[in-house]
Structure 1
Amino acid sequence: MFADDTKLYNRVQKNSSKGGDDIQEDLNHLKDWSDTWLLRFNASKCKCMHMGINNNERSYVLGEEEIMTAKEEKDLGVYITDDCTPSLQCTKAANKAMTSLRIIKRTFKHIDKESFPILYKAYIRPHVEYCVQAWNPYLVKDIKAIEKIQRRATKLVPSLREKPYQERLEELNLYPLEIRRLRGDLIEVFKILNGLEDIHPDQLFTMSHNTGTRGHKFKLFKRQLKKGLDLRKFFFSQRVVDVWNNLPEDVVGVNTTNQFKGKIDQHWKENGYGVLKGLNL
C-alpha cells in the first residue's frame, strides 16, 4: 500500500501569532495515523515549499525528522516554484519538445505537408501543451521560448522553409501556440459553464449581472485585484474573462463543445486575430 501525492497547505496571515502551527499539528496527526495503520511516510521524500513575501519560512518535522525545504518541485508533470511563475515549466517543456524535434529531424529524411501534422501533433506539440491551463506563460521571454518550438518545427517541411512563419502556419492549417492556448482556455470556460466538467462554475467564476444591450447573457464578472497582485491576473479564472465576454452571442450560445470549437474558429477566421488584443504574435 502507498500514500502518494499527499499535500498539506495553509495560508498564514501577515503578523499571525500561529505562524504555521496548524500545519505542524496536521503533520503530527498524520504521523500518529501512519503509526497506527503501519503505513509509514518516508520523511526524506517529503518537501516543504514556502510561498509569499511575508512567509516566516518556519521549519517542520514529521516524527523526529525535519522536512527539507524546496524552491521547486515537479507535481504530476508540472514544475511548481516558490514564486509561482511558470518560467521553469516553460523551459522544461521547450527542452523536451526540442529533443523530440531533433529526433524527428534525424529520423525522417523528407517530411511533406501531409505527414508533418501527424508527427508534430503526436510527438512535439503535446510537450508544450500538457496541463497548460495551469502554467500558461505570460512573460514575453517564456511566450517566445514556447512559440520558437513551432517556428522551428514548421521548417521541417522543405517547401515551406523559406516562407514567413505566418504563411507556414496557414499552409499547415495551424494556429500560433499563443492563440491555441487562448482557444483552449475558452473551450474550458464553455465546458465549465455548461456543466460538462466535474466542477461547479461558482468555484472559478461569478456571472455578471450587468449584461446591458451589448454582449451575451453568459458574461462573467471580472474581480478587481489588490495592488501588487500582478501574478493573480494571469490565473485562468482572471485572464480569460475579457476575451470570453467579447465573444458574440452566436458563438457562446451553442449546445455542444464541437459546435463551440467550430464557431470560434469561424469567428476568428472572419475577423482575424485583430479581435484579440495584447497578444505577443
Structure 2
Amino acid sequence: MLFNNKKFELIRYGPNENLKEHRNTVGAEEIKTKETMRDLGLWVSDDCGFNAHITQNTSAACKMRWWILRTFKTRKPEHLLPLWKTLVVAKLEYVCQLWFSHKVEEIQELEQVKRVFRRKLVRDSLNYWERLKILKLYSLERRRERYIMIYVWKVLEGTAPNPSQNEGGGI
C-alpha cells in the first residue's frame, strides 16, 4: 500500500525531549513537524495552548461580522442579532468547552469582535456592558461560564457524564 506523504501531519508535545528529536518517515521521506495543526475544526499548538485557535476563529468571526454589516443596510438589533448568533457566535464558541480561556488578552481578543458589532447596532455614548444590557445579551466570557456551571450541575444531578470518573466509577 502506498501512502501519500503530503497528507501526513505531525505535532509533538510533552516533556520527553528524546521523542521530539526522533525522525518519523513514510517510505524515504520525512514527516515534517508542525507548530500548529487543525483537527476537527480545533487548532492545537505544540505547547498545548489554544492561542492559535482563538486567533484563527477570531479572524474568521471578524470576516463574518463584516460580511453581515456590509450585506445588510439595516442596523436594527431585531434583524441583525439572529445573524450574529447564528453565524458569528458559532465560530467564536466552537469547542469552547475544551479551550476555555482564562488569559485576559485572549478574552479581550474574543470580546473585541462582539464589542465592534454592538457599537454598530447601538450608536450612543454607552459603554460595552451597558449596550449588552440594553440588547439583553451576555458577554462571550459569561456565556462560557454559564455553560460550565450548567454542565457541572448536570453532572451532580447525574444527567450528564462525569469526565473525571473512570470506567469503574472511582476517581
The 1:195/1:60 distance shift into structure 2, 3 A limit, reads farther
Cα shift readout 1:43-73 (whole Å, capped 9, x = no counterpart):
3311221213542211112344322211110
The answer to whether the 8 A contact 1:193-1:201 is kept is no
TM-align CA RMSD? 2.4
How many percent identity over aligned positions?
Answer: 31
**Cα distance in structure 2, aligned partners of 1:196 and 1:99:** 38
> In terms of mean alpha carbon deviation, does 192-201 or 102-111 score higher?
192-201
- In structure 2, what is the equivalent of residue 259 of structure 1? none
The 1:200/1:141 distance shift into structure 2, 3 A limit, reads closer
The answer to whether the 8 A contact 1:154-1:161 is kept is no
State yes or no: 1:162 paired with 2:151: no
**Cα distance in structure 2, aligned partners of 1:66 and 1:191:** 47
Gap regions ≥5 residues in structure 1: 1-34, 208-220, 222-281
Q: Secondary structure, in 3 states, of the residue corresponding to 1:74?
A: strand
Cα displacement (A) at 1:190: 3.1
**Cα distance in structure 2, aligned partners of 1:46 and 1:193:** 41
- In structure 2, what is the equivalent of residue 32 of structure 1? none
Cα displacement (A) at 1:175: 1.0
The higher radius of gyration belongs to 1
**Matched pairs, number:** 167
TM-score (norm 2): 0.85
The 1:161/1:130 distance shift into structure 2, 3 A limit, reads farther
**Cα distance in structure 2, aligned partners of 1:123 and 1:155:** 18
TM-score (norm 1): 0.54
Gap regions ≥5 residues in structure 2: none
Which one scores higher on RCO, CA 8 angstroms, separation ≥ 6? 2
**Cα distance in structure 2, aligned partners of 1:192 and 1:80:** 27
Q: Secondary structure, in 3 states, of the residue corresponding to 2:43?
A: strand
In structure 2, give the amino acid aligned to 1:117. Answer: L
- 1:116-127 matches, within 5 Å, as 116-127=80-91
**Cα distance in structure 2, aligned partners of 1:109 and 1:168:** 20
- In structure 1, what is the equivalent of residue 139 of structure 2? 176
